[in-house]
Structure 1
Amino acid sequence: MQKLVSQLSVRLIFKQLKVATVESCTGGWIGKILTDQAGSSEWFAGGLITYTNESKSQLADVPTALLDKYGAVSVEVAEAMAAGAQKHFPDCVSVAVSGVAGPGGGSKDKPVGTVCIATSLNGVNNARRYQFDGDRNQVRRETVKQALQMVLDALN
């Protein structure tokens, strides 16, 4: 994963951008991985941990109607989280994650391992739904890895 962070830092510096995070199921893990690299203050703007629906609305400006209609774990909400980060961290690429890490909390439509990740840059949003296997830690680790890859892809 450090290789991804290294590639991302080079790309962000080249583009003269910073990255901002809005995390739910990863609980700050993306921000932690990014700031593990020395010099990250040059390209990491900050992050929000929005674990509850209330915090998604209050901190990331996700409309409650969107949460009610699609649920917290949806591409629509992940996209709104990433777009909401743009209000707090302008001129950044933002990444947002929301998912069911387990071991409980899953449903038929959104089983454990369901994760939605979104990026936002210059008004261009990209959101995807993933299904990861494994225990809670494995789901969260894969989420972090895929989120980093999506940010890198958004910059290319």
Structure 2
Amino acid sequence: MDVADLIAKAAQKGITVATAESCTGGMVAAALTDIPGSSAVLDRGFVTYSNTAKTEMLGVKEATLDRVGAVSEEVAVEMAEGARARAGVTVAVSITGIAGPGGSEHKPEGRVCFALAAGNVETHSETIELGPLGRDEVRAASRDRALALLWDYIFNSDQ
């Protein structure tokens, strides 16, 4: 997947993007802004590493965080929908996960949750178990999966 092609196709279709990132710390936004002309597509990126940032910046409900924890599809959905609403963009992608080292029996290292929110489709969410690949590899794979979600939406939507 070529990020330059993603940016070009989004610009051609008038699609705007926001990112909401936790464990990747802005890597998706950085990959997009590496491409000249990305300002026509990327509106903003939210790096919401703490739960407080997730609630304050994206509107993630404290009750959701208390019930299922930050690394969950429910929180990923609220992050993506919050980013999309606050930025007023066509589509937003979110990532929350455990890059490592660490994790627990219930939420192991390498578990990453994603969501993609767009106005013309139901919010998509998924969890990927990358395993204990190491922090750098988990973060890179998470960035790449988020970009792939954007790619699928941009190239396959009627938008």
- Which TM-score applies when normalising by structure 1? 0.94
Q: Percent identity?
A: 39
Is the 2:18–2:89 contact (alpha carbons within 8 Å) kept by the matching residues of 1?
Answer: no
Q: Which ranges in structure 1 are unaligned for 5 or more consecutive residues?
A: none
Cα distance, 1:4 vs. partner? Answer: 3.3
Cα distance, 1:39 vs. partner? Answer: 1.0
Note the aligned Cα RMSD (angstroms): 1.1
CA deviation digits over 1:104-123, x for unaligned, max 9? 2x111210000001100006
Q: Is the aligned partner of 1:12 residue 2:32?
A: no
Letter in 1 for 2:44: G
Q: CA–CA distance in 2 between the matches of 1:91 and 1:62?
A: 18
Cα distance, 1:6 vs. partner? Answer: 1.9
Q: Which ranges in structure 2 are unaligned for 5 or more consecutive residues?
A: none
Cα distance, 1:56 vs. partner? Answer: 0.3
Cα distance, 1:154 vs. partner? Answer: 2.1
CA deviation digits over 1:103-144, x for unaligned, max 9? 12x111210000001100006210100011311000000000
Aligned twin of 2:151: 152
Indicate which of 118, 123, 126 corresponds to 1:121: 118
Cα distance, 1:14 vs. partner? Answer: 2.4
Letter in 1 for 2:117: S
Matching of residues 1-156 of structure 1 within 5 Å: 3-104=1-102, 106-122=103-119, 124-133=122-131, 134-155=133-154, 156=156
Q: How many residue pairs end up in the alignment?
A: 153
- Which TM-score applies when normalising by structure 2? 0.92
Q: CA–CA distance in 2 between the matches of 1:23 and 1:91?
A: 16
- Any runs of at least 4 consecutive aligned residues in structure 1 with deviations exceeding 3 A, and if so which? none
Q: CA–CA distance in 1 between the matches of 2:2 and 2:86?
A: 25
Cα distance, 1:151 vs. partner? Answer: 1.1
